[in-house]
Structure 1
Amino acid sequence: MPFKKLNSNIKERLEFLKITAPTKFQSSSIPVIKSGVNVYCTASKNSGKTTTLILTTLHKLKCEAVGSAPRAFVLVENKERALELYDLFSIYTRYNSLRVYVAHEQIHIDLQKSEIFEGIDILIASTESMNKLFLLNGISISSIKLFSIDDAEFLLKRSGYATLLSMSQSIKKCQFVLYSEKIPPKLRGLDSYFMEHSRTVSS
């Protein structure tokens, strides 16, 4: 069972939340993501994609704060989704030292840069904010281990796709995990950029 092989801190939170068994999608996706390969994760709504994103991110970072530079990026479409995902992450990080920061276009960029500089582990950011932070050297990519894209259909819009490609060209070694309901040809085209040797998990 995938949950039994996760970090002990995560298992304790799952027990507290009375989540005892993984969904079909989680059973097939968590082991593949844990292996470290790039992954396209496709499944319908309410299949457990968001929880999978959270659990595998926490497991990758061993539920511990390290250094000051972010080690995981989560790219989302907009402010509303960024805040929603931040609240969900908070449920699982309440009793560990991981520092989660949310960035969106309604927070002044200079304030975001200064708060990030103080030290974070996980950055959840809307496309617009991620692009600004990247262009203004507001985030370090030197320690990135995992780059997740939530509900990746928004990448079909030009701005989101361009932001992701620009960042990926500067990241030398990182695992990319893309979550979506389907994989349109444009998203599959990411194989030519940073999703090489990827695997696909569907349910």
Structure 2
Amino acid sequence: MSFKKLHPLLKESLENEGFETSNPFQKKVLPTLKGGADAYIIAPKGSGKTTALIIATIHKLKAEAFEDSPRAIIVVENKKEALRLKEEFERFTNTTDLRVYALYDEYDIEKQKTEVYYGQDIVIATPARLSKLYFLNGIHLGEVQLLAIEDADYLGRHNGYNHILRLSESLNKCQFIIMADEMNSRIKNYQNAFMSNAHLLK
């Protein structure tokens, strides 16, 4: 897929980072993600999954900030991954006014409530902290257009699977994306809930 069809500000960021075109795997997955379909993206590390997700997310949000409620939620395993992915997103949002926020367990939850309240577009969150903040009415999910789980292989640990399942029940008209190195029974079980019509891209 050519980058010509992407939002001009996103295209500019990609060019600034030295990306001229998508790689073969991204060419396969980006049309499905851009089209708004639910998807399992199963491929080994280094295949370009994360960059594809970042491109699809920024394009979906039209590369611009809008009101206060998050419109994209990316779920990751821990604080380290939240901060790493935030940094990755910021490489591609620096030509836009999109706000990217990392929400993780090792931080004062009252401060997080305040920082989210003042407006975020993309929230990168650990499952437990996202769930806790939601049930404390600290984050509004009514405007979420995309929920993605990055490197979902961890979901069998720390009750992450159940946190995601409960949160998915609060989302309407949302695109769901699950990314993992390989399909496993935990993430496959989401087919019985919100991933029933998901495409399998591998």
Scaled by the length of structure 2, the TM-score of the pair is 0.97
Q: Shift of the alpha carbon at 1:4?
A: 2.2
Q: Secondary structure, in 3 states, of the residue corresponding to 2:159?
A: helix
Q: Shift of the alpha carbon at 1:2?
A: 4.0
Match of 1:47 in 2: 47
Q: Counterparts in 2 of 1:54-73, with a 5 A limit?
A: 54-73=54-73
Q: Shift of the alpha carbon at 1:192?
A: 0.8
Tell whether 2:11 aligns with 1:16: no
Distance between the aligned counterparts of 1:134 and 1:150, measured in 2?
20
Number of residue equivalences? 202
**Greater than 4 Å deviation, 4+ residue runs:** none
Distance between the aligned counterparts of 1:172 and 1:90, measured in 2?
27
Distance between the aligned counterparts of 1:89 and 1:105, measured in 2?
20
Identity of aligned residues (%): 39
- Indicate the RMSD between aligned Cα atoms, in angstroms: 1.0
Q: Which moved more, 1:186-195 or 1:70-79?
A: 186-195
- Structure 1 residue runs of 5 or longer lacking an equivalent are none
- Structure 2 residue runs of 5 or longer lacking an equivalent are none
CA contact 1:2–1:26 (8 Å) conserved in 2: no
Q: Shift of the alpha carbon at 1:162?
A: 0.7
CA contact 2:127–2:160 (8 Å) conserved in 1: yes
Match of 1:32 in 2: 32
Match of 1:183 in 2: 183
Distance 1:2 1:155, change over 3 A: farther
Scaled by the length of structure 1, the TM-score of the pair is 0.96
Q: Secondary structure, in 3 states, of the residue corresponding to 2:36?
A: coil
Match of 1:4 in 2: 4
Q: 1:50 corresponds to which letter in structure 2?
A: T
Q: Shift of the alpha carbon at 1:158?
A: 5.1
CA contact 1:69–1:121 (8 Å) conserved in 2: yes
Match of 1:94 in 2: 94
Q: Shift of the alpha carbon at 1:131?
A: 1.7
What are the Cα deviations for residues 129-185 of structure 1, in whole angstroms up to 9, with x where unaligned? Answer: 112111211110110000010001111225110100010111122000011111112
